[in-house]
Structure formats: C-alpha cells, structure tokens
Amino acid sequence: IVQNAHAFDPRAPMTTDLRPAVDGLFDELEAKGVDYVLVGGVALLSYIEGRNTQDIDLIVSAGDLAKLPWDAKAQDADFARATYRGVRVDLLLRSNALFDEVARTARTTVPFQGRPVVTATREGLLLLKLYALPSLYRTANLARAALYETDVLMLHQGATVDDGALLERLRPHLPGHDITELRRILDEQRTRTRFT
C-alpha cells in the first residue's frame, strides 16, 4: 500500500521497492527496544480493505526518539516527523495523554509481512480518528477530514463498537461541543441509508 501510494503519486519522484525499508524500520524498532504502536493507514489495513497511505504512523515516547538515528524533527509538542530509507514516518508522541492512553490500553499484535507488529486496536484507531476530526475541520483540511470520516465509517463495518464508550474516553481530551459534534457524525453514519 505504501509502495503503491509512492509509485503513483504524480507530485513525487518515482521510487524503488519500499518493502525492504519498511521491514528494516520494524527490525530497527525491535533491535533498539522501542515501545511503539503502529497507527494510521497501514494499521487500518488490519481491519479494512482499500486504504492507501504514503507514510508509516507510530505512537512512540519522545525519549525513544534518541535511540533511533532517524533525525526526527518535532512538529509541535504532540508530533514529530522523520524519514527512514525514503519512507516518511509520522510520530505521535506519548506526551499527548490520548496517544499515551491508546498506546497503553488499545494495542494488539498482528502479522505484518510475516512478522508480529504491535498495532492499535480497532477502538484505538477510532479514538485517534475521532480525536483528529475537530482540528481538521477547524483548519479547513476538508479532504483529510472526509478521509478520516470514511475511515471511521469503515472501521465500524462488520464490528460491534460502543460509540458512547468511545466518546466517554475522548471526553477528557476534547471540549464538550466537540464531543457533541462527534456524536452527531457517528449518529449520522449509523442511520445513513442510500438507494432504499
């Protein structure tokens, strides 16, 4: 998925096979003893089909960044970005209380390219997507907001998810009016019907 996104992005130069880089990234995380959780588009593939991405997203501790020679650059208090052998790596830092909660309580291990990879659970991914939506709308990043809403919809497919429990977990991290709007989005998705 990452390879195809890179290969067919008309704005980016053509790339070579990225699979060795992705394998090497996980090898290095394990070798250095970095506690990570895979999130984002690649993690979504454990639960849904057809998601494309151009990067690897990980939750890590800011202290673990020093263990890796990735030359990570802080974006702000919650995010950093690095490049590993041509693959962009977006880092969600555990100094953010929600990211830390997901890393501690919403993780599982899934097979990835024949290896076990620590990945966020379905509920963990939903928490992260819902948490990001208000900010995306406020900054008028509508294309990404639409993608995240679609991710939320797809993560609900074929699964029993307690939306009320998710919103309660988000309540300490977002203002009340954001929780109200997220509830409206979830309710709309649950009751949406087409071509009836």
Q: How many residues does the chain have?
A: 196
pLDDT in tens, 49-92: 766 666 889 999 998 988 887 888 888 999 999 988 888 899 99
Q: With 80 as the cut, is the pLDDT of residue 20 above it?
A: no
pLDDT tens digits along 123-177: 999 999 999 999 999 999 999 999 999 999 999 998 999 999 999 999 999 999 9
Whether the Cβ atoms of residue 136 and residue 148 lie closer than 8 Å to each other: yes
Report which of 146, 123, 131, 151 is spatially closest to residue 42, judged by C-alpha positions: 151
Would you state the pLDDT for residue 173?
Answer: 98
Record the pTM: 0.88
User: Which among 78, 81, 98 is positioned nearest to 90, based on CA atoms?
Assistant: 81
Q: In whole numbers, what is the pLDDT of the chain averaged over residues?
A: 87
